[in-house]
Amino acid sequence: ALGACRRGAGSVGAGRPPPRAPGPAMARMAVTSAAALLLLARSAAGSSLHLAKLCRGQMCKLPEFPILDYSVSEGNCFCRAHPCWADNGLTHRCPTPFFPFLKFVFDEGGRMSCECSSAPFYGTLHISKDLCPGYVCEDEYPVLDWDPEGERCICRRHPCSDINGFRYECRSPDFPILRYRQDVSETEGDKPVPICECVARFDPPDDSEL
């Protein structure tokens, strides 16, 4: 399902996120990767279908490089550190329990802003910066994605909101972020195998403060 995808109007000042539709509460601020308990039923922002297809069969296991992303210049997928861990010399973290999830957004000029969100977030620079800078999505359709056929940015529901009729959520406080990826079937050629898994918050791997 697709929803309205809004773009920030006009120029946005450096260090400020683009305007967005009403969504989960955000707070400006000062978030490893492991499978965990996965339960049926709420979704979280993140997990691009386009990125999952580009990087089918790949995953990131090291907590220092938890985000699976795509490099346009190299033409391949790779594991990267969270961009807010090294933001022009700053290491961002989200210590408050009300806004515990580290999130990044890019304005139309490609400038990144880091913020703390009340909702889990899993994003990539390929979608947020390379393809859809300045775009934001609403609550019901929280996933910013790229439609290669229409060559446009879209908002969609989390892929794990409907996998073979099931809706998934992550209820473990240690692994609260719902992530979608695709594996390759060992018996049916290149047929994609959808995988929903819970991963840890994106906390910096050291004790650096904002």
pLDDT digit string, tens, across residues 118-168: 999 999 999 999 999 999 887 789 899 999 999 999 999 999 999 888 999
> How far apart (Å, rounded) are the C-alpha atoms in residues 182 and 58?
8
pLDDT tens digits along 49-89: 999 999 999 999 999 999 999 999 999 999 999 999 999 99
Q: How confident is the model at residue 186 (pLDDT cuts 50, 70, 90)?
A: confident
Name 205's Cβ contacts closer than 8 Å, sequence gap at least 6: 32, 63, 64, 85
> How far apart (Å, rounded) are the C-alpha atoms in residues 87 and 179?
24
Task: Say which amino acid occupies 204.
Answer: P
Q: Region 21-48: what's the mean pLDDT? A: 39
Name 102's Cβ contacts closer than 8 Å, sequence gap at least 6: 29, 31, 82, 84, 92, 93, 94, 114, 116, 117, 121, 201, 202, 203
> How far apart (Å, rounded) are the C-alpha atoms in residues 10 and 16?
13
More confident residue, 206 or 108: 108
Q: 119, 42 in Cβ contact below 8 A?
A: no
Q: 160, 196 in Cβ contact below 8 A?
A: yes
Task: Please tell me the pTM assigned to this model.
Answer: 0.76
Q: 159, 50 in Cβ contact below 8 A?
A: no
Q: 143, 158 in Cβ contact below 8 A?
A: yes
Question: What per-residue confidence (pLDDT) applies to 207?
Answer: 55
Query: In angstroms, how far is CA 157 from the centroid of its own chain?
Result: 13
Q: 117, 24 in Cβ contact below 8 A?
A: yes
